[in-house]
Amino acid sequence: MWTELDQETPLVGLGHPPGGFTHGQLGSVLLAELPFVELTNLRGEPGSPGFLAAVLDSIGSELPTTPNTVATSADCCAMWLAPNEWLLRSTGAQPTDLARRLDAALGRQFFAATDQSSGYSVIRLSGPHARAVLAKGSPLDLHPRAFGVGQCAQTLHFKTSVLLRRLDLAGQEAWEVIVRRSFADYAVRIMLDAMEEYLGPGVAPGSSSH
Amino acid sequence: MSQSCRLPHGGRVQRSAPVRFFFNDKPYDGLAGDTLASALIANGVHFVARSWKYHRPRGIVAAGVEEPNALVQLETGAYTIPNARATEIELYEGLRATSVNARPDIEHDRMAVARYFSRFIAAGFYYKTFMWPRAWWPKYEERIRDAAGLGTVPDTLDPDRYEKTHAHCDVLIVGAGPAGLAAAVAAGRTGARVILVDNQPEPGGSLLWSTDTLGGEPAGQWIRRVTDELATMPEVCVLPRTTAFGYQDHNLVTACERLTDHLPLQQRAGVRERLWKIRARRVVLATGAHERPLVFGNNDLPGVMLASAVCTYINHYGALPGRQAVVFTNNDSGYQAALDLKRNGAQVVVVDPRTRSGSGLSMRAEQAGIRIIQQAVIEHAVGGTRVSGVRLQGHGARLPAGTESLSCDLLVMAGGWNPVIHLYAQSGGKPRWCDQRACFVPDVQVQPQISVGAANGDFSLAQALSGGVRAGIEASAQCDFADVSGKAPAAWATHASTESPILPIWSIGSGKAATRGPKQFIDYQNDVSVSDIHLAVREGYRSIEHVKRYTAMGFGTDQGKLGNINGMAVLAGVLGQSISETGTTTFRPNYTPVSFGTIAGRELGDMFDPIRKTYLYEWHVAHGAVFEDVGNWKRARHYPRPGEDMDAAVARECLAVRHSVGLLDYSTLGKIDVRGPDSVTFLNRIYPNLWDKLKPGRCRYGLMLDENGMILDDGVNLRLAEQHFLVSTTTGGAARVMSWMERWLQTEWPDLKVYLTSITDQYATATVAGPNARKVLQKVCQDINFDKEAFPFMGFKEGTIDGVFVRILRVSFSGELSYEVYMPANLGQHVWNLLMAAGEEFGITPYGTEAMHVLRAEKGFIIVGQDTDGSMTPLDLGMGGMVSKAKDCLGKRSLSRSDTASPHRKQLVGLLPSDPTCVLPEGGQILNAPSTAAIAAMQGHVTSSYMSPILQRSIALAVIKDGLNRMEQEVTIPLPDGRFAQARICSPVFYDPEGARQNVD
């Protein structure tokens, strides 16, 4: 039977430290990979009778229906992607098999729940320069007046697309960046490069191997 | 070397900080705070350049960004910058610069003879002279470019780092002169987010050396107080050394920040330049104005300088541009220069075409004892490499006796002011000619912006300040930041002075004088003179845009900042129409040149385009894979062992699959989860074949057609449940197919209840192929029955490998017994390792995409995009049977058009070269017989071609006209070396045509 040690994150090429890849300093900018986060893509019609209630039962959280907002519960964060699409990010330590639970809960409703836990990399970027680093790759306005806690948005990070969410981290500038698995290595390498001017010179980890 | 023209005091230079620099290899001393231009002037150096076409001696004419002449090659080697403006280069220790366009050096310029036959190389000369013979043009061009070139591009890699960033604000203010600073502080106090960009090292603009007072406060003190206040505002960002060079749509302003160019080379570190892409809700343009030169004979001599530049060099840099000056002015600005010169000990004579007006500045000049010759103009200047005198002529009056000639070492021009309307015009605005102020001013606003101060034609300090404050408050209010607490700055009181109106003079004398007399230059950088404009009109050009292109006026690195308006006015005069009717040329980005480094930023090398990696990328690297790019993916192409070339490695990998078992990373294929009650209806409309009868647990191959019936993509689809499918796509087609399917769902069939979700990245795929594939899987997967009958071809099962959920398909792209294992990508490497270990006893061999291609070609399986090219139908591939007659689908109707239904189209066939060692070139054209004629009838082309290791001979796939009816016929393929290869048309299935091998026990 496989164990957690048998898993690999999309950032395996940057080294494979237990607990995930990290680089930088919180006093400036800190990148931290959050490995093996359970993610589930959910499609459904918010107006369809019983759909929102059944989801609430299943995940303990409302689904946000305001564009680019987030709803959170004890162990799940639901991010709005489209009028009929959400990304559910489990916040507990253990996988909760959310896609299968939704399958069971929604029965013969018109919906689709797909496990995406292996499909993305989840990155946290924090520190006073975090916003400046993201601003190099994203054309969105990331100022707290325009993009506050409780909001999320799909945007660009240089030439790949990412889902951004501002985190509520004790007044600290902090963001969660969710990027597709196959683009994660590119996204993080160019993010490390963007961080360099705030961290001083030095070779970004992993950038010299090949 | 002494700074012979450095004033004993004054200016903002640091007298305690001498700086050694080199110009044209000669050492000079300057001071910290100098520009290269001001340091040269402090050293008495005016002759700094040779002109572009005539190689005439040229001097420093301006003090800012509008400088057309003083272009230098700054530094050498990797750090070299061609055509840098000496007026903008901040002096640093060890700076090295050389004049451009002069070889071997400026004094002994070989091409200087050009000016003696300048009469024969007027506008249009190149077009007319080098037209014929046409084939010689490349040679001519090489020589012309060599003779007429400017700086030299670097020939080594740029070692500097460049960054780009996006920024957003409520109010963007361009220019930190009095108007811009007033706007910034007014906007900042409302709490709005403000960005203030300025192209100078420190804010203040013309106030930096002004003797004016603002609200009773000396200018310098006012600047400090305002900038200190801005620094305390958390939402205000001030960017010095930053040039806003482009005004794009949707209030996007692009600016370049220069971070290290002012430092000595060895002290530079970090980012050299940063591109700011600023999206502003409101823009305030406080970009100031450029002074106009006056147009008279030999107005390009070194020592001829703008009045504003003279004031700047004296007051800002403490450098005296000349000791015996003639000031030629048609407005009051020239008097300020006269006063500044006189105050610093120079002899000054003012030549003014107007009658005595008694305005403030002119009276002060009179009182200072400056001689003023009214109602006179300068006909032409004289001199060699420096102006030595002028010839005057009367203007509506006779010259006073003895004033026909004056000697001088400095000739100052004050021709009026051009508001810097470049950004306004780039924003889409059309400037309006104002007769009273004799300049173009901004008119109707097109994007949410406003021009203030001199940029708006409001040239007085009082107007700049009040306009700035008003714009700052209004722009903030439009962003919902009201000035609620009465914190708006009151307008600062300034000293008012009477001014007499400008008398525009666009050139001296008649058209004949302009043509015959000394050249009157309009555009210094491109050597365009008044006579060139006369010539253009004589040759029939009327539109300013055509005259510009015929004469090259306004081309070059300065884009005509100094001369264009004079040129338009001269053209208007020649055509006998108003300046308003003549109009301006188009102002386009970029306002000043922008380095390629800044445009590229950090997206270089491996970061130029995203590299997509599969779960197995690191394993591939560790096992010596050679990669190929497929879309953005890196796919392992083959795994050469020591001593193997690609052919040997591919042959070994192919034979391992044919004889035992191989393992392939197949993860890059697109995977789309299709779910909902109308899934079958949806797939029936998308694909030509029928999906109703496919049972859950079974797979089916599907071709996808576009509206024209042409093959768009293909893949194997799984029915997971009654209303749930998994569609697979080609690697390169994944995103296209997803968009294509979403487009039909959302725009044409919104009634269908179907959801599409990409799961390409979620699942890793490993293909286990070869006669021993089943045995390998049976070792690692116990909860699936792999028996032939229990798990038939085109079926799939779900189970576990070491507890990892897997979905296993029995499909084959190689013709062998083959399984595709889908697993969550996080555990993909683990499952792969288990498969490798289980296969060890069978010699399991990882194989790459090249072997995959050979194996499929041996079986005649197509690759969409290689064997098809957007003009192939299923019928052309011999797959007409896949088009269901029982239903309609996208593209089906197109298949019945006369051309697509014709039996004589190009059809997919196999080719067996007569020489079994000859691998035909892919893309090779197919002829019926060898031909060396220029035109031969093409029958088709080779689409795939390989050496087949199992058949031990070359094979190829091709599309050939009427190919299905031409079996066994011989065709000819011309080879790149001029020989011809013969080949026989055959079935595209070369190996195991009965399909027995995927059915082994």
Cα B804 from Cα B167, distance rounded (Å): 46
Nearest CA distance, B448 vs chain A (angstrom): 18
Same domain, A53 and A74: yes
Residue A167 sits in a domain whose CATH number is 3.30.1360.120
Look at residue B858 and give its three-state secondary structure. Answer: helix
- The string of pLDDT tens digits covering residues B249-293 is 999 999 999 999 999 999 999 999 999 999 999 999 999 999 999
| B432 Cβ neighbours under 8 A, 6+ residues apart | B440, B441, B442, B443, B580
Query: Residue B496 has what pLDDT?
Result: 79
| Annotation: CATH topology of B293-415 | FAD/NAD(P)-binding domain (3.50.50)
Q: Which class is B14-108 in CATH?
A: alpha beta
- Nearest Cβ partner for B757 among A43, A132, A201: A43
Residue of chain A whose alpha carbon sits nearest to that of B781:
A1
Cα B362 from Cα B347, distance rounded (Å): 16
**Does A4 reside within a domain?**
no
Counting residues of chain B whose pLDDT is more than 70, the rounded percentage is 96
Chain B residues whose beta carbon lies within 8 Å of the beta carbon of residue A141: 168, 279
A120·B761 Cβ contact <8 A: yes
* Mean pLDDT value of segment B584-608: 94
Query: Residue A3 has what pLDDT?
Result: 94
| B825 Cβ neighbours under 8 A, 6+ residues apart | A10, A118, A119, A181, B615, B667, B761, B762, B763, B764
Query: Residue A92 has what pLDDT?
Result: 86
With residue A197 as reference, give the H or E element that holds it: helix A181-199
* Mean pLDDT value of segment B825-829: 98
Is the separation of the CB atoms in B286 and B316 below 8 Å?
Answer: no
Res. B149: pLDDT tops 90: no
- Name the nearest CA neighbour of B566 among B375, B353, B416: B416
Query: Residue A208 has what pLDDT?
Result: 35
Same domain, A196 and A130: yes
Q: Which residue has the higher pLDDT, B150 or B175?
A: B175
* Mean pLDDT value of segment B207-219: 91
Report residue B538: phi and psi, to 5°: -60, -30
Tokens of B106: 């400026």
Chain A contact for B799, CB < 8 A? no
| B324-329/B410-414 β-pairing | parallel
Chain B residues whose beta carbon lies within 8 Å of the beta carbon of residue A82: none
Chain B residues whose beta carbon lies within 8 Å of the beta carbon of residue A103: none
Nearest CA distance, B244 vs chain A (angstrom): 18
Q: Which residue has the higher pLDDT, A169 or B73?
A: B73
Mutate to test the interface with A, among B612, B725, B805, B833 (most CBs of A within 10 A): B612
Query: Residue A169 has what pLDDT?
Result: 85
A181·B825 Cβ contact <8 A: yes
> CATH for B617-668+762-856, among 3.40.50.10190, 2.40.50.140, 3.30.1360.120, 3.40.50.1820?
3.30.1360.120
Mutate to test the interface with A, among B163, B166, B629 (most CBs of A within 10 A): B166
Same domain, A155 and A201: yes
Is the separation of the CB atoms in B195 and B172 below 8 Å?
Answer: yes
What residue segments make up the domains of chain B, in order of their start? 14-108, 161-289+419-478, 293-415, 505-577, 617-668+762-856, 670-758, 903-1001
* Mean pLDDT value of segment B599-606: 95
The region that residue B561 occupies, defined by phi over 0 for left and psi between -120 and 50 for alpha, beta otherwise, is: alpha
Residue of chain B whose alpha carbon sits nearest to that of A11:
B615
Cα A138 from Cα A152, distance rounded (Å): 13
Report residue A154: phi and psi, to 5°: -90, 125
- The string of pLDDT tens digits covering residues B763-787 is 999 999 999 999 999 999 999 999 9
Mutate to test the interface with B, among A29, A117, A173, A181 (most CBs of B within 10 A): A181
Is the separation of the CB atoms in B444 and B425 below 8 Å?
Answer: no
Chain B contact for A116, CB < 8 A? yes
B829·A189 Cβ contact <8 A: no
Query: Residue B223 has what pLDDT?
Result: 97
| Chain CA centroid to CA B105, Å | 34
Is the separation of the CB atoms in B333 and B350 below 8 Å?
Answer: no
- On average, the pLDDT of chain B sits at 94
Q: Which residue has the higher pLDDT, A139 or B52?
A: A139
* Mean pLDDT value of segment B185-207: 96
Is the separation of the CB atoms in A125 and A169 below 8 Å?
Answer: no
Q: Which residue matches tokens 């229906």?
A: A65
Tokens of B171: 């109010």
Tokens of B999: 């059915």
Same domain, A55 and A23: no
Same domain, A29 and A122: yes
**Does A18 reside within a domain?**
yes
Q: Which class is B161-289+419-478 in CATH?
A: alpha beta
Chain B contact for A210, CB < 8 A? yes
Res. B233: pLDDT tops 90: yes
Same domain, A90 and A56: yes
Residue of chain A whose alpha carbon sits nearest to that of B621:
A210
Cα B781 from Cα B801, distance rounded (Å): 5
Cα B968 from Cα B368, distance rounded (Å): 106
Chain A contact for B264, CB < 8 A? no
Residue A113 sits in a domain whose CATH number is 3.30.70.1520
- Name the nearest CA neighbour of B873 among B902, B852, B848: B902
Res. B143: pLDDT tops 70: no
Same domain, A122 and A32: yes
Structural domains of chain A, count = 2
Q: Does domain B505-577 have CATH number 1.10.10.1100?
A: yes
| B645 Cβ neighbours under 8 A, 6+ residues apart | none
* The length of chain A, given as a count of residues: 210
Res. A202: pLDDT tops 70: no
B762·A138 Cβ contact <8 A: no
Q: Which residue has the higher pLDDT, B54 or B629?
A: B629
B613·A13 Cβ contact <8 A: yes
Chain B contact for A101, CB < 8 A? no
Query: Residue B113 has what pLDDT?
Result: 66
Query: Residue A209 has what pLDDT?
Result: 34
pLDDT grade, residue B117 (50/70/90)?
low
Q: Which residue matches tokens 């070869």?
A: B770
Interface subset of B 613-642, CB within 8 angstroms of A: 613-615, 617-618, 621, 633
Is the separation of the CB atoms in B844 and B662 below 8 Å?
Answer: yes
**Does A1 reside within a domain?**
no
A114·B193 Cβ contact <8 A: no
Same domain, A112 and A205: no
- The string of pLDDT tens digits covering residues A53-77 is 999 988 888 899 999 999 998 889 9
A139·B761 Cβ contact <8 A: no
Chain B residues whose beta carbon lies within 8 Å of the beta carbon of residue A111: 675, 755
Chain A residues whose beta carbon lies within 8 Å of the beta carbon of residue B763: 118
Task: Please give the interface size between A and B, counted as residue pairs whose CB atoms are below 8 Å apart.
Answer: 139
Is the separation of the CB atoms in B22 and B32 below 8 Å?
Answer: no
Residue of chain A whose alpha carbon sits nearest to that of B269:
A201
Chain A residues whose beta carbon lies within 8 Å of the beta carbon of residue B734: none
Query: Residue B68 has what pLDDT?
Result: 94
| B254 Cβ neighbours under 8 A, 6+ residues apart | B244, B245, B246, B248, B275, B276, B277, B278, B589, B590
Residue of chain B whose alpha carbon sits nearest to that of A110:
B676
**Does A3 reside within a domain?**
no
Query: Residue B699 has what pLDDT?
Result: 97
pLDDT grade, residue A201 (50/70/90)?
low
> CATH for B903-1001, among 2.40.30.110, 2.40.50.140, 1.20.120.550, 3.90.1150.10?
2.40.30.110
Query: Residue A210 has what pLDDT?
Result: 33
Domains B293-415 and B903-1001 share a fold: no
Same domain, A84 and A185: no
**Does A101 reside within a domain?**
yes
* Mean pLDDT value of segment B577-587: 93
- On average, the pLDDT of chain A sits at 92
- The string of pLDDT tens digits covering residues B955-965 is 999 999 999 99
Name which of B94-108, B335-349, B582-596, B876-890 the model is least confident about. B94-108
A111·B755 Cβ contact <8 A: yes
Query: Residue B511 has what pLDDT?
Result: 72
pLDDT grade, residue B128 (50/70/90)?
low
Is the separation of the CB atoms in B835 and B619 below 8 Å?
Answer: no
Query: Residue B125 has what pLDDT?
Result: 67
Chain A contact for B739, CB < 8 A? no
Interface subset of B 549-608, CB within 8 angstroms of A: 602-603, 606-607
Hey, which residues does A166 pair with through a beta bridge?
A175
Nearest CA distance, A19 vs chain B (angstrom): 14
Alpha helices in B358-506 (DSSP H): 360-367, 422-426, 461-478
Cα B717 from Cα B674, distance rounded (Å): 10
Chain B contact for A146, CB < 8 A? yes
Residue of chain A whose alpha carbon sits nearest to that of B276:
A136
- Nearest Cβ partner for A6 among B168, B271, B830: B830
Cα B250 from Cα B282, distance rounded (Å): 10
The residue among A72, A102, A117 that closes a domain is A117
- Nearest Cβ partner for B761 among A181, A194, A201: A181
Q: Which residue has the higher pLDDT, A18 or B715?
A: B715
* Structural domain range at position A61: 39-117
B670-758: which CATH architecture?
2-Layer Sandwich (3.30)
The residue among A69, A102, A117 that closes a domain is A117
- Nearest Cβ partner for A2 among B607, B611, B804: B804
Interface subset of A 29-48, CB within 8 angstroms of B: 36, 41, 43
Query: Residue B491 has what pLDDT?
Result: 73
pLDDT grade, residue B387 (50/70/90)?
very high
- Nearest Cβ partner for A182 among B614, B676, B824: B614
Res. B135: pLDDT tops 90: no
- The string of pLDDT tens digits covering residues B315-352 is 999 999 999 999 999 999 999 999 999 999 999 999 99
| Chain CA centroid to CA B336, Å | 42
Same domain, A105 and A135: no
Same domain, A100 and A127: no
Chain B contact for A181, CB < 8 A? yes
Is the separation of the CB atoms in B34 and B317 below 8 Å?
Answer: yes
- Nearest Cβ partner for A117 among B606, B753, B824: B824
Nearest CA distance, B971 vs chain A (angstrom): 45
Chain A residues whose beta carbon lies within 8 Å of the beta carbon of residue B610: 158-160, 183, 186-187
Res. B115: pLDDT tops 70: no
Tokens of B92: 């640093």
Look at residue B378 and give its three-state secondary structure. Answer: strand
| B661 Cβ neighbours under 8 A, 6+ residues apart | B768, B769, B770, B771, B772, B773, B775, B776, B839, B842, B843, B844, B845
B753·A110 Cβ contact <8 A: yes
Query: Residue A203 has what pLDDT?
Result: 45
Chain B residues whose beta carbon lies within 8 Å of the beta carbon of residue A182: 612-614, 633, 668, 760-761
Q: Which residue matches tokens 């253009």?
A: B536
Res. A207: pLDDT tops 50: no
- The string of pLDDT tens digits covering residues B669-720 is 999 999 999 999 999 999 999 999 999 999 999 999 999 999 999 999 999 9
The residue among A92, A117, A142 that closes a domain is A117
Residue of chain B whose alpha carbon sits nearest to that of A116:
B762
Cα B257 from Cα B420, distance rounded (Å): 20
* Mean pLDDT value of segment B838-866: 97
Report residue A30: phi and psi, to 5°: -130, 125
Look at residue B646 and give its three-state secondary structure. Answer: helix
Alpha helices in B746-896 (DSSP H): 773-780, 828-839, 849-858
Is the separation of the CB atoms in B960 and B971 below 8 Å?
Answer: yes
Chain B contact for A172, CB < 8 A? no
Chain A residues whose beta carbon lies within 8 Å of the beta carbon of residue B609: 159
Same domain, A31 and A45: no
Chain B contact for A6, CB < 8 A? yes
b/e per residue, B858-867, with b = 16+ CB within 10 A?
bbbbbbbbeb
Interface subset of B 394-423, CB within 8 angstroms of A: none
* Mean pLDDT value of segment B575-602: 94
- The string of pLDDT tens digits covering residues B464-519 is 999 999 999 999 999 999 876 666 677 788 887 888 999 999 988 877 777 788 99
